[in-house]
Amino acid sequence: MPQKRNSSPARSPRRAPRQVTLIPGDGIGPEVIDAALGVIDATGVNIDWDRQLAGAAAMKRYGSPAPDQLLASLRRTGVALKGPLETRVGEGYRSINVYLRRELDLYANIRPTRSFAGIRTPFKNVDLVIVRENTEDLYAGIEHQVAPGVVESVKVITARASRRIAKFAFDYARRNKRTSVTAIHKANIMKLSDGLFLNCARTVAREYPKIKYNEAIVDAACMRLVTDPASYDVLLLENLYGDIVSDLCAGLVGGLGVVPGANYGKKGAIFEAVHGTAPDIAGRNLANPTAVIMSAALLLEYLGHPDEAARISKAVHDVIKAGRHVTRDLGGRAGTIQMRDAIIAAMA
C-alpha cells in the first residue's frame, strides 16, 4: 500500500524571507501564537511578520472586528498565521473567520487528523484528512424572520463550489498518495442541495480512476468514525458537516488542542488551529500549543520549507510521545510555555 503523508496542496512560488500576516486572535490565541513564533524562529526560517488585530481585540481597539488594514495586509501578503477569533453565540457581529475565508475566497479547509504516540485514545492509527468546503452552505449567513416565531436559514450549494472542492480533495489525495475519498452527505433528505454536491463529487471522481470514491450519509459516517476510523481516508464535506465532523475527528486523536488546519484558495492561504478561543483557560498558560504549532508547520511547507516543517512535526510528536512536558488536556502538568520550550529543545 502506498505510504500516506500529508503536505500542503500548493507551494508558494516565492522564497523566504517574505512578509506573512500574523493575527494573534482572541482568548488563548496570543499564547499559542507566541509559542508557534518561538518554534518557527528556532527553525531559522526568516519571516517578516505583519501583526494585525481581528475579532474582539480589533473591535476593542478600532471599533471593527475586521478593520481595513487587516484586509489590506492579507491582500498584500496573501498568507497568514492566525489565532482563533471570538464569535458570540446568537448575537453580535457575524463570524470574522467566515468573512475572511469568503473575502479571500479560501474555499478549501484542510484538517489533517493523525494519532500521536503518547496520547491515550481508543484508536492508535487514525490518519484522516478532512476537506471542508469553506464558502457556502448554511454559512452563507442568509437568515430571516418570516413571521414572529418562524425563521428561515438558507442553505446555499452551487455546482461551481461543489466541483472545485471535490477537485481539491482528489488532487490532494493524488499528491499525498492517499487511497480514497469519501463524500459525506445527507442527500436522502436534502435531495436538491446535498444531491447537487454529491453529483458534482461523482463527476469529478470519474477523472481520478486510481483513487477510490465512496459516499456515506453523515449520521452513519459519524457512527463509523467512532467505531472504525481506519475505514476512512480523505473525507469530502460541505461546510457545516465539515465543521462538526472535524471536531469529532479531533476527539479521536486527543482533542482540539492537537489538530492543525489550513484554508487554501487561488489567492492565498490562512493557517489556523481547529480550536476556538477557549475562554475557560485563556491567559493562564494552560493552552496546548500543538495545534497552532502544527499549523505553523503547514505554513512553512506552503512557503517552500518542507524540511523545517518536518523538523517541527517530528519534535512535536517526540515531545508528546515522551509525555514529560505536555499540557493538562493531554494529562500532563506543563504550561504552554514549558511545552513550547520542550519542542524547541527537541528540534536542536
Among 167, 186, 275, 311, binds ligand NAD (CB under 6 A): 275
| Side chain identity, residue 170 | F
Which residue has cell 481581528? Answer: 54
Q: Which of 26, 107, 137, 139 is catalytic?
A: 139
Tell which one of 33, 256, 298, 339 touches ligand NAD (CB under 6 A): 256
Considering only 176, 277, 295, 313, the residue that binds ligand NAD (CB under 6 A) is 277
Read off φ and ψ for residue 213, nearest 5 degrees. -115, 130
198 within 8 A of 186, measured Cβ to Cβ: no
User: Mask of contacts with ligand NAD, 73-92, x by CB under 6 A?
Assistant: -----------xxxx-----
For position 281 contacting ligand NAD by CB under 6 A, the verdict is yes
User: Is 219 annotated in the active site?
Assistant: yes
Q: Which is nearer to ligand NAD, 126 or 326 (CB)?
A: 326
| Nine cell digits for residue 147 | 413571521
In sign, the C-alpha dihedral spanning 108, 44, 52, 243 is positive
Interface residues for ligand NAD in 308-347 (CB under 6 A)?
329
Q: Is 105 part of the annotated catalytic residue set? A: no
Q: Which stretch binds ligand NAD (CB under 6 A): 8-16, 222-230, 273-281, 302-310?
A: 273-281
Question: Which C-beta is closer to ligand NAD: that of 108 or that of 287?
Answer: 287
Please check whether residue 311 is in contact with residue 44, taking contact to mean a CB–CB distance below 8 angstroms. no
By beta-carbon proximity to ligand NAD, the closer residue of 45 and 287 is 287
Among 65, 112, 118, 257, binds ligand NAD (CB under 6 A): 257
DSSP-based three-state secondary structure for 165: helix
Residues 43, 102 contacting (CB under 8 angstroms): no
Cα–Cα dist 13/24, whole Å = 26
Which of 151, 124, 105 lies closest to 253 in space, CA to CA? 124
Contact (Cβ atoms closer than 8 angstroms) between residue 54 and residue 21: no
- Looking at beta carbons only, is 83 or 229 nearer to ligand NAD? 83
Give the residue numbers marked as catalytic: 139, 186, 219, 243
The residue ranges that bind ligand NAD (CB under 6 A) are 28, 32, 84-87, 97, 256-257, 272, 275-281, 287-288, 291, 329
